[in-house]
Amino acid sequence: MSGAARGKKPGLLSSAFSLIIVFALLFVASRVAPEYKGDLGTIAAVGFLLLGGALLAEVLEPLRMPHLTGYLVCGILAGPHILHLIDHESVQLLSKVNSLALALIALAGGAELRISILKEGVRTLGWATLVQTVGGIVLVGTLFFCLKPMLPFAKDFGVAQMIGVSLLWGVLATTRSPSATLGILSQTRAQGPLARYALSFVMTSDVVVVVNLAAAFTIAKPLLVPGAEFSFGAFKELGHELLGSVAIGTTLGLLLAAYVKLVEKQLVVVLLALGFGAWEVLGYLNFDPLLTFMVAGFVVQNLSKQGDKFLHQIEWTGGLVYVVFFATAGAHLDVPLLRKLWPVTLILCGARALFSWGLGRAASRIANDPPTVKKWGFAPLISQAGLALGFAALVEKQFPGFGTEFKALGIAAVAVNEMVGPVLFKLAIDSAGESRPPVPTLPEGDHAHPEEPPTASSS
């Protein structure tokens, strides 16, 4: 054991030294040539985030921190609010990679959902979805209502308006982060009841959240906008969106399965085209891209024999994309805003985590879940990301009177949850004993040398 530990130290010291050099070089370059922006600045930012994020993840690994935390911290430090190594323009341009990352995440999530796993956990999934959704909206919404004196934008609200905005926040609190969940599961290669529960619940909850978002807007609008009337038109549009997304996703999945079986080559190019092109087209046509790609991955896995091969290609393609995705999310973090809103943000985030734990225990008791799910089932539910931010932006658009402040609070809450959630989930996976050592990536025909055993990144 001591020999292995001594063998790791030079690598750790080397990574730490390399990280300092990378930050120093970009710091000097940003001061010597601050005028370099646009495409050149974006290329430099991509290279830095890839290298800096990977190195910082290695440095934090002995602390049992997830890789995602390293990527996020790298983006926060290098972003426009801390060290100013990456400017606002570059951060905005890098946001275009989000559609590619989310497409790969949705495809991988769908491909990980095997019918056999869903059948085994249908009772657990049903009770968890019902309890976490209804209980989360009611409890978090009630707390938000009680925190009215701490919310500057809500001080002049009447009871009806406060109920409406509390409903919106309660629904926002039920959003999860498939990207963080899959990132941790990919790093730890976890297998077991907790990993299966986390994957099935977080991925399928996106469908429930989409329905809840439409319902919340329909109910809240008459409470918040004078003269607005309750209308079922939003539910009709929602039905069109869901059914259309499922239909397109099924067709896309069958086409991808046929491509993998008959052609297989250049699948990476196909995935890139889907991420950058099809995602935007689906959004323009008012379909849900996340649901569409998740259904496509599910179809490839369960209606063909190409699921494992397809999943391997996605993981290979997504490795570098995920680093940029999470590092860019860190660079997006508005640190001054978080500093301004931290009291109410910490109360809301802490209460949300506490409610998730309590509701998770209640649902697990009813469903008679395995001990690891009873104890740690709340851990994968803490992280929030793109869906929560998208919902907050939609609130800003629909309710300009208070939407900007609501969105700011939402961004601050997502920032806290995205920093804490992955760490907590990895701790849960490790504590449950479900993490496994990584498989070494070797050229075809090579074999691992006995004197160089693979090390467990999840240890």
Q: Does 28 share its domain with 124?
A: no
Question: 437 in a domain, yes or no?
Answer: no
Question: 451 in a domain, yes or no?
Answer: no
Reply yes or no on whether the pLDDT at 231 is more than 80: no
What was the pLDDT predicted at 143? 95
pLDDT band with cut points at 50, 70 and 90 for residue 71: confident
- Residue 311 structural domain: 97-431
Residue 299 to residue 154: CA distance in whole angstroms:
45
pLDDT tens-digit map of 367-382? 888 999 999 999 999 9
- Contact at 8 Å (CB) between 90 and 37? yes
Percentage of the residues of the chain whose pLDDT score is greater than 90: 19
Q: Does 38 share its domain with 130?
A: no
Reply yes or no on whether the pLDDT at 6 is more than 50: no
pLDDT band with cut points at 50, 70 and 90 for residue 252: very high
Question: 18 in a domain, yes or no?
Answer: yes
pLDDT tens-digit map of 96-143? 677 777 788 778 878 877 887 777 778 888 899 999 999 999 999 999
Domain end marker among 94, 115, 142: 94
Reading the block at residue 280, the tokens are 């935007």
Question: 1 in a domain, yes or no?
Answer: no
Question: 195 in a domain, yes or no?
Answer: yes
Q: Does 62 share its domain with 144?
A: no
Q: Does 88 share its domain with 105?
A: no
Percentage of the residues of the chain whose pLDDT score is greater than 70: 87
Question: 75 in a domain, yes or no?
Answer: yes
Distance of CA 419 to the CA centre of its chain: 11
Q: Does 25 share its domain with 133?
A: no
Residue bearing the bigger pLDDT, 115 or 357: 357
Reading the block at residue 63, the tokens are 């602390």
At position 340, the amino acid (one-letter code) is K
Q: Does 235 share its domain with 137?
A: yes
Q: How many domains does the chain have?
A: 2
User: What is the sign, positive or negative, of the torsion defined by CA atoms of 398, 403, 407, 413?
Assistant: negative
- Contact at 8 Å (CB) between 319 and 57? no
At position 182, the amino acid (one-letter code) is L
CATH number, domain with residue 184 = 1.20.1530.20
pLDDT band with cut points at 50, 70 and 90 for residue 48: confident
* Polymer length in residues for the chain: 459
Question: 450 in a domain, yes or no?
Answer: no
Q: Does 84 share its domain with 111?
A: no
User: What is the sign, positive or negative, of the torsion defined by CA atoms of 14, 20, 22, 24?
Assistant: negative
What was the pLDDT predicted at 51? 85
Domain end marker among 94, 115, 130: 94
Domain end marker among 42, 65, 94: 94
Reading the block at residue 28, the tokens are 């000097």
What does each C-alpha distance from 21 to 14, 17, 52, 63 come to in angstroms? 11, 6, 10, 22
Question: 28 in a domain, yes or no?
Answer: yes
Q: Does 77 share its domain with 104?
A: no
Q: Does 86 share its domain with 196?
A: no
Residue 323 to residue 409: CA distance in whole angstroms:
26
- Contact at 8 Å (CB) between 230 and 315? no
